[in-house]
Amino acid sequence: MHQYHQKFGKIFKMNLGTFKSVQIGDPTLLESIFRKESNYPRRLEIKPWKMYRDYRNEAYGLLTQEGQAWQTMRKAVQRNLMDPKEVAKLDLKMNEVMQDFVTRINNICHEKGCVDDLYFELNKWSYETICFILYNRRCGLLQEACGEDDLKFIKSVKEMMKYLGPLMVTSVNLHRKLNTPQWQKHTQAWDDIFTTAKRFIHERLENISKSQKGDILSKISEQGQLSKKELSAIFSELQIGGIETTANALMWAIFNLSQNYNAQEKLYEEIQNTLLPGDLPTSQSLKQMPYLRSCLKESMRLTPTVPFTSRTMEEDTNVGGFLLPQGTIVMINFHAITWNEDFYTDAKKFKPERWLQDKHTLNPFASTPFGIGRRMCVGRRLAELQLQLALCWQLLKSTLL
């Protein structure tokens, strides 16, 4: 998309199969859309996901629901997921999983410090962490004797994502009517995802005691605002986010630091100067590490975990001198903005210092890796804490090459 924007400009129309959209690659246009949003902003409709839920009579989750129903759902979960004080309490659980991850990596590393499939190991780490946080459940994915049942959810997510793209740009209604192989495999993957989420929810709710309510599910369930179907839809999406986006973000952060040794050394020094010998990083100690936060911001700017965010126009709207009719899908392409020299000096270089030295001059709409506004990623604070702790552990235990 970056190359298309270089050729066609900051806003253009694109038709890809049955998928029609307006592509945007400018932060001022993103800001103009944001300023006109209602209380219930609409994102890109993920039709294959909705079709599956209608087909199986499942509830919509935060990524598929719209309007007042979406807002009710969001309010029910966001205090436990977005409140900084609540999220900060989760550092002990994250560190417990991180200790197992470090042990796991040490056991499977080759002589030269290489791991055969680091991304899959990061998937397991992020899934283990999110399940511990959501359900107070350890799945054992970081143990040597990990079974296929434990890995099934991760593999099902990858299978579902494999067919999502093709189903988005063709008629998903036709796929369902013809029962195509793509629809069958997409459906089977979601069946497995929901089966796992429902099992985890059922087992946790059956075994809650008053002394064990530190997990997200227990807190949200106790409020009584959501049905079990809604919990299944929301928590399956949270588990998916925990696997894909967090693992992807950490992988790119590790890569970017490995390619920029001076930044890696500077970050290591900051961590060493902040923590006493033998101490583990905590949510409190992270507050004293501005360079760590800058490294993650810069990594997500240079190599965004998700390539775009989206909006569906709720009414006829003027954007950049063009009238976009109600219902128009707008795709905001991150690379087109974050790699643009108009918004970042040395845009394709990894320079964490820019977030410390130039933070007052940088356009806040030029880097929005977690989305923006009322539909910002509900797991943002969880992910940020998890990533910051993980980078501390990685730098303390190894050199990234």
Q: How many whole angstroms separate alpha carbon 392 and alpha carbon 401?
A: 16
SS3 annotation, the chain: CHHHHHHHCCEEEEEECCEEEEEECCHHHHHHHHHCCCCCCECCCCHHHHHHHHHCCCCCCCCCCCHHHHHHHHHHHHHHHHCHHHHHCCHHHHHHHHHHHHHHHHHHCCCCCCCCCHHHHHHHHHHHHHHHHHHCCCCCCCCCCCCHHHHHHHHHHHHHHHHHHHHHCCCHHHHHHHCCHHHHHHHHHHHHHHHHHHHHHHHHHHCCCCCCCCCHHHHHHHHCCCCHHHHHHHHHHHHHHHHHHHHHHHHHHHHHHHCCHHHHHHHHHHHHHHCCCCCCCCHHHHCCCHHHHHHHHHHHHHCCCCCEEEEECCCCEEECCEEECCCCEEEEEHHHHHCCCCCCCCCCCCCCCHHHHCCCCCCCCCCCCCCCHHHCCCCHHHHHHHHHHHHHHHHHHCCCC
CB 286 within 8 A of CB 388: yes
Pair type for strands 19-24 and 329-333: parallel
Q: Is 377 annotated as a binding residue?
A: yes
Binding-site residues for heme: 377
Binding-site residues: 377
